[in-house]
């Protein structure tokens, strides 16, 4: 079987640039001309030009050119050709070098406390004009086709045709040059809103592709729909699965852009992010996360793209404009994996009103094991729908400490606080990272610094498999450990966050062998060192994958290697697709996809083999489904994921909908394809790949 794949997707830098700031007013719209000069509209009923020649350091007032009358109740504006009201949306027609303005926001005159609206789109020549020309509207906001209501974004195609997303009248109208009335191209002509695909609900963005399809940001329905030229109904191309923050959902999208390759960029305003949806995709890829450090406020409207593909976005509350530089316009991969698709709805399978959960593990029959902050490990049975927990450890009650704290013990039937859990399914043993603190009589905390193996066939005590000799650098010692891994041969791998290394412990070994990091506990950011590693996994080839938490990356160490290879993150701490923020647990599936519990970003990412960015398959920040700093993640035999939400005192299950399928060079994967496999692969590829060239040569 030979499979050839050509996949093109742009990637963006995590180093955003604030190019405009310090304004008195918040910014609404943004546009860019061929020379990369930037135009912005503000809440003071003004439009400014910021020149690339002076590095956007100072703006020049473009309009109004005639000063409006003084207003006492709000922004002063006017209705003459040299004046404007509040302009929400801007677009530059680069062919004619004209700036189009959606002049539909309220302004004030004199002592009149009531806002006045122009309800028009103005065209302003960028060659020194002092007045604009009305090209749409200006006759009120009713539903007649010569009228428009409130408009937040507009679009002009290569032929100079203007498209107006009319949020008031729930429609999109097309205005050809010198037209006195618009032509309905999407939505209901009578201005009725709705959620069916023949209707729109407060659309705030519009764009077109090369063949004349019209893309509409259907804001109130939290989706983007595509309307063919002359069509009477739309097709959902992004979102449409309810309001939310998962990668298949949108939350009040505003501005949209369709690039030359058909990729759709969505300013997902309610989620403070920009998403990239490739053609026929069922989920979006985050190219800019504006929620990080509140870089873009919720409700921002404006987004633009220059000729090179760099993105510009307005931050209304921050009174600034950001540029997100493009890193690579084209990415071609010889190996491609479809992304596993997970449900937007999480299921709470374990809850404790008193204690937070650290570790989580799942056995072969989908029973869930969870460790808590009270130095206890519980089993939640699949057969009883996880309704009641059964305590596995300790089996001997610890002595109650004198002071209010965590009781624990160091006998074989007792434990301290267990951070990490792992079920070795062949032997049916539960491994516990018993390295957290507890109290025994006195108020002073103690730690066992050991890994315990606990048989799941009714054992009442555990066996020490690593450590137990105090915290230290000696080969028989370990420090604080947050996650562990056991391979099918019973070999235990321990990521030691205290001593910045990973040690391997064979069965009955009295000491561990360093397989990643420094044997003497040195920390650092080079690929020969680790910094507080908290996650571990080993693939079928014996490669060791380490969640290098303090360096915000995942590295792979081959057997016997003295240095690692970067496989995820490593681009600084941050929320972007190419970045991680304090990753903890990791899992490698049979297709070598890396699943990362990106704890500081409250998300789970999937990184396919060779990927330069991750795809968010679960966003735990939405409704705070998973708290920052949570540790544990597990996967059952069906591919469902389980995460320990420490702050929420619960374990969440994220159900899988579609598994990942990997295709690539035969040297990497050699497998026979049945007709059923081919059909499934084609369906999956249509969902996530931008451009696919699939050549199958089936041997007889």
Listed in sequence order, the residues at least 6 apart from 602 whose beta carbon sits closer than 8 Å to its beta carbon are 619, 620, 621, 624, 625, 626, 627, 628
CB 488 within 8 A of CB 429: no
Among 343, 363, 393, identify where a domain stops: 393
Q: Does residue 2 belong to any structural domain of this protein?
A: no
Q: Does residue 399 belong to any structural domain of this protein?
A: no
Please indicate, yes or no, whether residues 257 and 202 belong to a single structural domain of this protein: yes
For residue 261, give the nearest of 248, 278, 276 by alpha carbon.
278
Please indicate, yes or no, whether residues 60 and 93 belong to a single structural domain of this protein: no
Q: Does residue 660 belong to any structural domain of this protein?
A: no
Residues linked to residue 633 through DSSP beta bridges, in sequence order: 643
DSSP of 242-260: -BSSSTT-BSS---EEE-T
Question: Is the pTM here over 0.75, yes or no?
Answer: no
Domain harbouring 560, CATH code: 2.120.10.30
The string of pLDDT tens digits covering residues 577-609 is: 899 999 999 999 877 889 999 999 999 999 988
Please indicate, yes or no, whether residues 60 and 101 belong to a single structural domain of this protein: no
Q: Does residue 134 belong to any structural domain of this protein?
A: yes
CB 236 within 8 A of CB 284: no
Listed in sequence order, the residues at least 6 apart from 89 whose beta carbon sits closer than 8 Å to its beta carbon are 28, 29, 41, 101, 102, 151, 152, 153, 154, 255, 301, 302
DSSP of 214-235: EEEEEGGGTEEEEE-TT-SS-E
Please indicate, yes or no, whether residues 106 and 56 belong to a single structural domain of this protein: no
For residue 32, give the nearest of 349, 240, 326 by alpha carbon.
326
Please indicate, yes or no, whether residues 130 and 250 belong to a single structural domain of this protein: yes
Q: Is 316 helix (H, G, I), strand (E, B) or coil?
A: coil
pLDDT score for 401 = 64
Q: Does residue 186 belong to any structural domain of this protein?
A: yes
Please indicate, yes or no, whether residues 320 and 189 belong to a single structural domain of this protein: yes
The three-point CA angle 521-522-525 to 5° equals 135
Please indicate, yes or no, whether residues 105 and 170 belong to a single structural domain of this protein: yes
CB 89 within 8 A of CB 316: no
pLDDT score for 341 = 83
Helix (H) or strand (E) holding 678: helix 675-688
Domain carrying residue 309: 86-393
pLDDT score for 384 = 86
Please indicate, yes or no, whether residues 310 and 424 belong to a single structural domain of this protein: no
The count of C-alpha atoms lying within 13 angstroms of the C-alpha of 297, restricted to the half-sphere facing its C-beta, is 13
Structure-derived torsion over alpha carbons of residues 577, 583, 584, 587, reported in degrees to the nearest 10: 30
pLDDT score for 127 = 85
Ranges of residues in the chain with a pLDDT under 70 are 1-8, 330-338, 401-404, 441-443, 661-700
Among 393, 421, 447, identify where a domain stops: 393
Q: Does residue 5 belong to any structural domain of this protein?
A: no
Q: Does residue 664 belong to any structural domain of this protein?
A: no
The sign of the torsion formed by the CA atoms of 269, 271, 276, 277 equals negative
Distances (CA, A) of 374 to 98, 389, 391, 404, 679: 67, 14, 12, 11, 50
Cα 443 → chain centroid: 43
Please indicate, yes or no, whether residues 36 and 185 belong to a single structural domain of this protein: no
Distance of alpha carbon 528 from alpha carbon 517, whole angstroms: 6
Say whether the peptide bond before residue 123 is cis (omega within 30 degrees of 0): no
Q: Does residue 689 belong to any structural domain of this protein?
A: no
Please indicate, yes or no, whether residues 120 and 176 belong to a single structural domain of this protein: yes
Q: Is 677 helix (H, G, I), strand (E, B) or coil?
A: helix
Unique residue bearing structure tokens 């030229």: 229
Among 361, 393, 425, identify where a domain stops: 393
Residues linked to residue 377 through DSSP beta bridges, in sequence order: 371, 393
Q: What is the C-alpha R_g of the chain?
A: 29
Please indicate, yes or no, whether residues 162 and 203 belong to a single structural domain of this protein: yes
Distance of alpha carbon 185 from alpha carbon 157, whole angstroms: 14
Q: Is 508 helix (H, G, I), strand (E, B) or coil?
A: coil
Counted domains in the chain:
2
Please indicate, yes or no, whether residues 353 and 488 belong to a single structural domain of this protein: no
């Amino acid at each position: 079987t030979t499979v050839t794949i050509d996949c093109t997707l742009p990637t963006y830098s995590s180093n955003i640039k604030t190019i405009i700031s310090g304004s008195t007013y918040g910014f609404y719209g943004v546009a860019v001309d061929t020379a990369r000069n930037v135009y912005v509209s503000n809440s003071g009923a003004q439009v400014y030009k910021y020149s690339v020649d002076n590095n956007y350091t100072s703006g020049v007032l473009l309009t109004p050119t005639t000063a409006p009358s003084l207003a006492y109740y709000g922004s002063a504006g006017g209705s003459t050709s040299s004046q404007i009201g509040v302009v929400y949306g801007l677009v530059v027609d680069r062919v004619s070098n004209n700036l189009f303005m959606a002049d539909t926001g309220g302004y004030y005159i004199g002592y009149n406390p009531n806002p006045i609206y122009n309800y028009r789109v103005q065209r302003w020549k960028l060659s020194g004009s002092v007045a604009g020309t009305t090209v749409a509207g200006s006759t009120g906001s009713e539903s007649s086709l010569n009228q428009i209501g409130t408009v937040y974004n507009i679009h002009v195609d290569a032929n100079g045709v203007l498209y107006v997303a009319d949020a008031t009248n729930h429609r999109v109208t097309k205005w050809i040059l010198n037209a006195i009335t618009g032509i309905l191209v999407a939505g209901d002509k009578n201005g009725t809103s709705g959620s069916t695909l023949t209707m729109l609900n407060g659309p705030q963005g519009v764009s077109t592709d090369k063949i004349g399809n019209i893309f509409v940001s259907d804001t109130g329905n939290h989706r983007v729909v595509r309307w063919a030229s002359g069509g009477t109904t739309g097709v959902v191309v992004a979102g449409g699965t309810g309001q939310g923050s998962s990668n298949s959902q949108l939350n009040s999208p505003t501005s949209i852009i369709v690039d030359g390759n058909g990729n759709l960029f969505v300013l997902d305003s309610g989620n403070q992010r920009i998403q990239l949806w490739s053609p026929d995709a069922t989920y979006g890829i985050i190219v800019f996360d504006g929620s990080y450090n509140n870089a873009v406020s919720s409700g921002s409207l404006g987004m633009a793209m220059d000729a090179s593909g760099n993105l510009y976005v307005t931050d209304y509350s921050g009174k600034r404009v950001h540029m997100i530089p493009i890193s690579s316009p084209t990415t071609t991969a010889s190996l491609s994996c479809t992304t596993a698709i997970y449900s937007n709805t999480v299921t709470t399978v374990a809850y404790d009103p008193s204690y937070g959960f650290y570790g989580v593990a799942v056995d072969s029959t989908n029973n869930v094991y969870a460790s808590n902050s009270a130095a206890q490990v519980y089993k939640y049975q699949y057969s009883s729908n996880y309704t009641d927990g059964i305590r596995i450890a300790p089996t001997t009650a610890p002595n109650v400490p004198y002071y209010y704290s965590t009781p624990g013990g160091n006998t074989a039937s007792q434990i301290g606080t267990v951070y990490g859990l792992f079920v070795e399914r062949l032997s049916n043993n539960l491994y516990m990272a018993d390295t957290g603190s507890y109290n025994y009589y006195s108020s002073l905390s103690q730690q066992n610094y050991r890994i315990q193996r606990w048989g799941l066939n009714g054992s009442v005590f555990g066996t020490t498999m690593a450590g137990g000799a105090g915290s230290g650098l000696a080969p028989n010692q370990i420090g604080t450990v947050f996650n562990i891994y056991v391979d099918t041969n019973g070999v235990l791998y321990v990521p030691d966050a205290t001593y910045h290394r990973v040690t391997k412990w064979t069965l009955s070994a009295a000491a561990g062998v360093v397989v990643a990091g420094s044997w003497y506990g040195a920390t650092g950011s080079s690929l020969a060192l680790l910094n507080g590693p908290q996650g571990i996994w080993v693939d079928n080839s014996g490669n060791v994958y380490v969640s290098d938490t303090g360096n915000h990356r995942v590295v792979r160490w081959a057997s016997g290697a003295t240095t690692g290879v970067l496989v995820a993150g490593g681009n600084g701490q941050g929320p972007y697709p190419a970045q991680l923020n304090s990753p903890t647990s990791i899992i490698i599936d049979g297709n070598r996809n890396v699943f990362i519990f990106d704890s500081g970003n409250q998300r789970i990412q999937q990184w396919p083999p060779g990927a330069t960015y991750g795809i968010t398959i679960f966003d735990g920040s939405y409704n705070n489904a998973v708290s920052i700093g949570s540790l544990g993640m597990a996967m059952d035999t069906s591919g469902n994921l389980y995460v320990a939400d420490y702050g929420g005192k619960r374990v969440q299950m994220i159900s899988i909908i579609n598994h990942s399928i990997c295709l690539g060079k035969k040297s990497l994967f050699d497998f026979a394809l049945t007709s059923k496999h081919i059909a499934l692969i084609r369906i999956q590829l249509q969902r996530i790949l931008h451009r696919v060239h699939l050549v199958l040569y089936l041997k007889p």
